Amino acid sequence: MTRSIRPFAGIAALAVLAFPVVQSSAQEQVPPAPVQAPQPATAQTPSAPVPTTPQAFPKPDPANFTAASPTRETVDAFLKASWGYDESRYWQVEEIAKTQVEGISRVVVYVGDKSGKQKPQALQFFALPDGKHIIAGDSILTFGENPFAAYRAQIQQRADGPYKGSASKDLELVEFADFQCPHCKDAQANMEKLAADFPKARIVFQNYPLEKIHPEAKRAASYGVCVAKLGGSNAFFQYASAVFEAQDGLGTSDGATLTLNSAVTKAGLDPAKISACAGTPETDKEVASSVKLAEDLDVNQTPLLLVNGRQLPVNQIPYDTLKQIVLFQARLDGVAAQ
């Protein structure tokens, strides 16, 4: 077995399969893929010119393919679903090999950049016996020819938060957010752009209050549930906008009371009625149900956007790239995007 492209980019680099991360701006975020450090140039050893054509990968060695599952076709389909939005990226499956653990296969992929700005890398992950998951670093990711289908089905069945846009669930963008999370506040600019650019999308807000670090997040979520229940989705998004705008007021219990009541008033509702509704067991159950959905979907940071089940850190991606991914996912699912 031979490999001429080394070393493996740090195992965490496979997070790029799920997240095209470009900057750090999420609560409880997955670390971004490591970036190869540039080598300093000297007068004696000038840096090599940047190549202008893609580097050809060596022909795969048949001896590297010792595992029956997954097939090379399945891995290619998975990578296309994960990376196909980026036309500059190309890859080659180099190895699908048995490991010492029955049913677990090691997969090695060479990845390159057609612009020549980045050096080719070798990435590896481990395919699990169920055929539906892989281990990449310390993450378990969904796998297969349609890796986001299972999450999409759960979203369609269980995402019941207030929404804007289309009643259809063909293209469903579900945002999991915490009203006290600063990064969630920052993400609203991209969410507003998505709503404007994708009028055929159903854009859903799901509460995911991180109570351990944001003591007033659950109360803000409970108020939001009641605003939506008594005033509808339009009132909810007015409430949400007002809460995010005055987010600093959530820093204390008294400040949160004033902030939430003010937001309710701006949404055209009675703060006393909303407060009474927010304290009921039924409202607690609704918030808990949204949190449970987030946990079942392996949402491990806020804000997080699921586009037909595909997880995206909505405020860590340049908007043009985010829009490109939404368009690509819609094409992948055979639905109208705009």
pLDDT averaged over every residue in the chain = 87
Residue the block writes with tokens 């909810």: 236
Cα radius of gyration rounded to whole Å, the chain: 23
Sorted by where each starts, the structural domains of the chain and their CATH numbers stand as 11-38+45-144 (no CATH), 150-333 (3.40.30.10)
Global pTM value: 0.84
Give the containing element (helix H, strand E) for 107.
strand 105-113
Sequence-distant (6+) residues with CB within 8 A of 266 are 238, 239, 242
Residue the block writes with tokens 């939430």: 260
The runs of H, that is alpha helices, within the chain are 72-83, 149-158, 182-197, 217-245, 253-266, 271-278, 281-296, 319-333
Query: What is the predicted pLDDT for the residue at 17?
Result: 53
Task: Quote the tokens at residue 170.
Answer: 């063909």
Task: Quote the tokens at residue 103.
Answer: 């049913």
Query: What is the predicted pLDDT for the residue at 45?
Result: 47
Query: What is the predicted pLDDT for the residue at 338?
Result: 84
Query: What is the predicted pLDDT for the residue at 25?
Result: 55
Q: What whole-number distance in Å separates Cα of residue 111 and Cα of residue 82?
A: 13
Q: How far is CA 84 from CA 114, 263, 328, 330, in A?
A: 13, 41, 8, 12
Query: What is the predicted pLDDT for the residue at 7?
Result: 41
Q: What whole-number distance in Å separates Cα of residue 223 and Cα of residue 167?
A: 24
Task: Kindly report the backbone phi and psi dihedral angles of residue 106, in degrees, each rounded to the nearest multiple of 5, phi listed first.
Answer: -95, 130
**pLDDT one-digit tens code per residue, 203-242:** 999 999 999 999 999 999 999 999 999 999 999 999 999 9
Expressed in percent and rounded to 5, the helix, strand and coil fractions of the chain are 40, 20, 40
Sequence-distant (6+) residues with CB within 8 A of 212 are none
Query: What is the predicted pLDDT for the residue at 129?
Result: 96
Ranges of residues in the chain whose predicted pLDDT is under 50: 1-2, 4-16, 18-24, 29-46
Task: Quote the tokens at residue 259.
Answer: 């902030």
Q: How far is CA 200 from CA 153, 195, 228, in A?
A: 19, 9, 21
Query: What is the predicted pLDDT for the residue at 27?
Result: 62
